Amino acid sequence: MGDSGDSCKGTVVLAYSGGLDTSCILVWLKQQNYDVVGFLANVGQDCDFVDAEKKALLLGAKKMYVVDCRNEFVTNHIWPGVQASAKYENRYLLGTALARPCIARNMVEIAKKENAQFISHGATGKGNDQIRFELGCYALLPGVKILAPWRLPEFYLRFKGRKDLIEYAEQNQIPLSRSKSKLWSIDDNLMHISYESGMLENPATEAESDMWQMTAAAEKAPDTPVKLAITFDKGVPTKVVNVTENIVKTDPLELYMYLNKVGGAHGVGRIDIVENRFIGMKSRGCYETPAGTILWEAHDDIEIFTMDKELLKIKQGLAVQFSHQVYNGMWYSPECEFTRFCIDKSQENVKGTVYLKLYKGSVYVLGRESPISLYNEELVSMDVQGDYDPIDAGGFIKCNALRLQEHSRIKRKHKD
């Protein structure tokens, strides 16, 4: 693990997880004569943070920072995703993508504190995360240099797979985890767990049942549904009530974690999809997002209940843009800042409570109420005429028929 004796090339802040890849990268960077400062963001992943800190220092890190980013992640990143009803390609709830700008911001703060010239990470050269991390760092710390080992020939030609990394670890006294080797890679945080690679690279192969960690299989979920009431203010969830068990959560982090727990127990939030990576290839991913799935359904319902239909059309278009911007790592771009501002503005009247139940992997909306609803019960009633004259509908229909008639006339003319 010793250095070669050459002069120090500078200080690098390494996004360090404690796993095999970043442990080997830490030692490798030391051997390339960099001073390494480790950084680990707590965004709710399954990790022994104390052990990771000890390991980094043991391997030669000059310092090791573990930063609790969970509250920031929920309020500054997950909540805007909820307000947007964001889904990339109409399916993926962006659990990894929403976390990366939060991690990058905190990592940049450590780089500033340590006067580091370099930032490094263990993201692969084929994935989206390298883009998200680096765009965030470049945006927030112009002039910083990125060391991405998996894009450096001297690194990836030496380490062609897990076997090479294990051999390197053994040669350099890097402690290896004794956990069972999985046939897939995992990224987890407060919002979700994602699985890819390994056996999942064959899109026809069914994921093994023991892969899933956050959710119960639908067929093994409780036979009795649970009923929830979720209250929103300006499109942000402010209270969750488990009506069945009389449990109330109002703190943003506790609220989100509770929905993960109850949603996971009832099998909510599993998907298996093929998506289009920003870098230009299709990939298969499996995701568990219990709380995100519940909140998407609830928010979508209260939004249409309280928002003007023409505003909703514009906002839905913005949601598509926002989803692509976040997925592509453009959180700190001017267009994403503008999109978030507009979406936040659209949420001013998205206020009220949605009642729903969770059962066997599904979310069922049961009802909703709001003090500023645009739903006029008298106006829509089949039993009360209200402030509406049915005779007006005839002219409305005829006006809308004009362009259809003209379209048919032109088609007939060309046909003849």
CA–chain centroid gap for 173, Å, is 35
Are the C-beta atoms of residues 10 and 36 closer than 8 Å to each other? no
Would you list the DSSP string of 85-145? Answer: T--BTTTB--HHHHHHHHHHHHHHHHHHHTT-SEEE----SSSSHHHHHHHHHHHHSTT-E
21 is catalytic: yes
Residue 35 token pair: 């001073």
- The gap from C-alpha 98 to its chain's centroid, in whole angstroms, comes to 4
Q: How many residues does the chain have?
A: 416
CA distance 352 to 230: 8
Determine whether 158 is an active site residue. Answer: no
DSSP structural state of residue 78: I
Which region, left, alpha or beta, applies to residue 307 given φ > 0 means left and ψ of -120 to 50 means alpha? beta
Out of 151, 164, 185, 373, the active site residue is: 185
3-state secondary structure of 36: strand
Residue 46 appears among annotated catalytic residues: no
Which helix H or strand E contains 50, and what residues bound it? helix 49-58
Question: Is 300 labeled as catalytic in the residue annotation?
Answer: no
With tokens 């004569």, the residue in question is: 33
List the catalytic residue out of 35, 70, 85, 129. Answer: 129
* Cβ atoms of 376 and 386 closer than 8 Å: yes
Give the phi and the psi of residue 263 in degrees, each rounded to 5.
-65, -45
DSSP class of residue 217? -
Q: Which element (helix H / strand E) includes 57?
A: helix 49-58
Contacting residues for 84 by C-beta, under 8 A, at least 6 apart: 318, 319, 322, 323, 340, 343
d(CA 188, CA 27): 24
Residue environment code for 184-198, b if the CB has 16+ CB neighbours within 10 A, otherwise e? beebbbbbbbbbbbe
Of 17, 21, 270, 301, catalytic: 21
Strand partners for 12: 36, 118
**Which residues are identified as catalytic?**
21, 100, 129, 185
